[in-house]
Every structure is written in structure tokens, then in C-alpha cells.
């Protein structure tokens, strides 16, 4: 269903989920909180027949939807630059061959001109918004962070690696785009710039909504401001949905617990997964994190089936 980039074992051929994912397609755009390591865990804990649309109001990197690869999907985000990049891949305006040529050229200029070249590209992107410039900035910025100021300008500083785009790294990104092209081919997917409220209003019976909003209390927003009231409104809106849904959210770390989950999502089925959270400029600031997947009652895979499908995740 998803091409050579994915191999899956489906317990019940009449359902898309749960299933086991042995390899994960890593998307070419990186975002804070990207779910690459959690995708097998997510795929193994949801039950959905795949007959409706897979809906994501907070697409971000797109890693979950790209790996589950349903036939129909609505993939939305308020960040027009992310949506613009993936639309361009879908429409064939960005190809893996074009990415290789572009990054080879940009890498040569970065090595020759150094840090000033990065800021020239950043200024150009903030004026013109070209999708390939977003890819360059995303992969050469500090810590691979995706962040915009209140005026919508990309404002992450240079990552200090003028040799960033070595041949092996360019090939890695090129292959990620190629695999994404394969996944998108033949799919009925809509990429839409939209507020989450607009996206949820389009959900119908038979759909499944996956929610990966900015993590409340974690200062991890990357485009729009997101606060406690936004998170509360999202929880209330989900209870009115006519279909299944699942929310990804941090649950706890060594310092504190996320009270928002207990206060606003306690009516769902909660599954947890612990991992090392790679956010922070220094290793001493990075700590183990327990992630929660809160699933609407009736849409969680049985424990024994989810353990089989998710494997070691």
C-alpha cells in the first residue's frame, strides 16, 4: 500500500490499523517533536478500517500520515510553508532529482561563502517563500529547529556547519524525497492550509483524526502561538467528532506530569511509550520523556494485538 519504503504485516486485511511497521519513512522536513520513533507505536495501537479519510489538523513533518499511507487523507497545517513544500512534491514541482541538484549547488555556495550565505537564503525565503529554500534552511539551521516569528518569518540561526551538505547527506535527503514521491503516487490526498477548527469541521463518520498539536506546557510551538485555552478547546471539539481520533501528547518527565491530560482527556484509552527527548541545545537539558497516545474509546487496538503490531516500540 505504501511502496518499497514500508513493509507491514496486517493482522486483518480488512483494516488499515493496527499493523506492524518494520521500517519508517523519514520525511525530508524536520520539526520539533517529530514522531519518527513513535510511528510503530502509533500504528500498533489504533483500530481503523481505512475506508474514510485520515485527517491531520497539525501535519508538521507529516511522518505519521506518510507512513500509514491511507488511500484518502486530509493533511492540514496552519504553516503555509510546510503545506507548500508537500504540495509541490505531490504536484511534481519538486522531485528527488531537483532536490539533489539544488542541494549540491547550495552546499557548494555554503562552503565557499560560509555563514553569510545562510542568512542571505533566510532573507530570500522570508521574502519569496520558495519551498526548496525551506528545505535548505531546515537542514542547515541550528539543531534542525523549525521556528517562525510573529510576522511569519523563519528566524532560526545558522547551525555553524558550512560542510553540512556533503555528498552522503545530500543523498540521504534526496532518498527521503524519492520515497515520499512513491508514497504520494496514486493517493487521494489533499494538503490544505487551515486552522485546526476548520479541519475538524470537515470530519465525517468513518474518518479517523490524528492530533499532534503543539505540546502544551513544553514551549514547543513552531509557527503559531498555542496556549492552555487552545488545548482545552481542542479537547472539547474532539468529543463532538463523528469519528475516531487519537491524540499524541507528552505525559511526564523526571520533573513533572502533564495535568492537562488528566483534566481534559481522561475519557479516552491511554497508551504510553517512553523515549529520550532530543530537544535542547545541550545534552544536559535533554531527558527521558513518557509520551501518551490518547485514543477515543472503541478505536484502541486490544493490548495483546497492539503489542504484537508495535513490536519493541
CATH number, position 116? 1.10.1020.10
- Assess whether 214 and 156 both reside in one domain: no
- Give the mean model confidence (pLDDT) for residues 231-240: 97
Residue 69: alpha-carbon gap to chain centroid: 13
Grid cell at residue 282:
545541550
Is 70 exceeded by the pLDDT of residue 77? yes
112 shares a domain with 74: no
pLDDT at 181: 98
On whether residue 184 sits in a domain, the answer given is: no
Mark whether 107 and 57 lie in a shared domain: no
CATH number, domain with residue 68: 3.40.50.150
Read off the pLDDT of residues 215-231 as tens digits, 9 standing for 90 and up.
Answer: 775 444 455 668 889 99
Contact present, 131 and 81 (Cβ < 8 Å): yes
The pLDDT value recorded for residue 6 is 34
169 CB neighbour count, 10 Å cutoff: 15
In the chain, the number of structural domains is 2
Give percent of the chain above pLDDT 70. Answer: 86
- Supply the pLDDT for residue 13: 59
Q: What number is the average pLDDT over the span 98-127?
A: 98
Q: Cis check for the bond before 18: say yes or no (omega within 30 of 0).
A: yes
The answer to the question of residue 84 being in a domain is: no
Q: Is 272 helix (H, G, I), strand (E, B) or coil?
A: strand
Q: Do 47 and 100 belong to one domain? A: no
312: confidence class by pLDDT, cuts 50, 70, 90: very low
The half-sphere exposure of 216 on its side-chain side, counting CA atoms within 13 A, is 21
CB 98 within 8 A of CB 106: no
* Contact call for residues 220 and 33 (beta carbons, < 8 A): yes
pTM equals: 0.89
180 burial (CB, 10 Å; 0-12 / 13-18 / 19+) is buried
Is the pLDDT score of 10 beyond 60? no
Q: Are residues 246 and 149 in the same domain?
A: no
Amino acid at each position: 500500500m505504501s511502496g518499497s519504503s514500508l513493509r507491514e504485516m496486517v493482522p486483518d486485511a480488512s483494516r488499515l490499523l493496527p499493523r506492524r511497521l518494520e521500517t519508517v519513512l523519514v520525511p525530508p522536513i524536520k520539526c520539533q517533536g517529530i514522531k519518527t520513533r513513535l510511528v510503530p507505536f502509533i500504528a500498533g495501537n489504533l483500530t481503523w478500517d481505512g475506508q474514510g479519510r485520515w485527517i491531520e489538523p497539525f501535519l508538521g513533518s507529516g511522518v505519521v500520515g506518510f507512513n500509514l499511507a491511507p488511500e484518502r487523507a486530509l493533511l492540514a497545517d496552519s504553516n503555509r510553508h510546510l503545506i507548500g513544500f508537500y504540495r509541490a512534491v505531490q504536484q511534481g514541482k519538486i522531485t528527488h532529482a531537483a532536490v539533489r541538484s539544488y542541494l549540491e549547488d547550495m552546499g557548494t555556495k555554503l562552503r565557499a561563502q560560509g555563514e553569510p550565505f545562510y542568512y542571505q537564503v533566510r532573507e530570500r525565503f522570508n521574502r519569496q517563500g520558495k519551498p526548496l529554500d525551506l528545505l535548505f534552511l531546515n537542514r542547515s539551521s541550528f539543531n534542525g529547529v523549525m521556528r517562525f516569528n510573529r510576522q511569519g518569518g523563519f528566524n532560526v540561526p545558522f547551525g555553524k556547519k558550512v560542510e553540512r551538505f556533503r555528498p552522503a547527506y545530500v543523498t540521504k535527503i534526496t532518498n527521503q524525497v524519492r520515497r515520499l514521491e512513491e508514497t504520494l503516487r496514486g493517493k487521494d490526498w489533499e494538503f490544505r492550509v487551515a486552522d485546526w477548527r476548520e479541519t475538524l469541521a470537515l470530519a465525517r463518520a468513518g474518518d479517523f483524526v490524528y492530533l499532534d498539536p503543539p505540546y502544551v506546557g513544553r514551549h514547543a510551538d513552531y509557527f503559531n502561538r498555542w496556549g492552555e485555552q487552545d488545548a482545552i478547546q481542542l479537547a472539547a471539539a474532539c468529543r463532538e467528532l463523528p469519528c475516531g481520533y487519537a491524540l499524541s501528547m507528552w505525559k511526564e518527565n523526571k520533573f513533572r506530569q502533564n495535568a492537562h491530560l488528566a483534566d481534559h482527556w481522561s475519557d479516552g484509552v491511554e497508551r504510553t511509550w517512553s523515549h529520550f527527548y532530543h530537544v535542547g541545545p545541550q545534552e544536559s537539558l535533554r531527558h527521558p520523556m513518557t509520551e501518551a497516545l490518547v485514543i477515543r474509546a472503541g478505536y484502541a487496538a486490544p493490548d495483546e494485538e497492539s503489542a504484537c503490531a508495535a513490536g519493541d516500540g
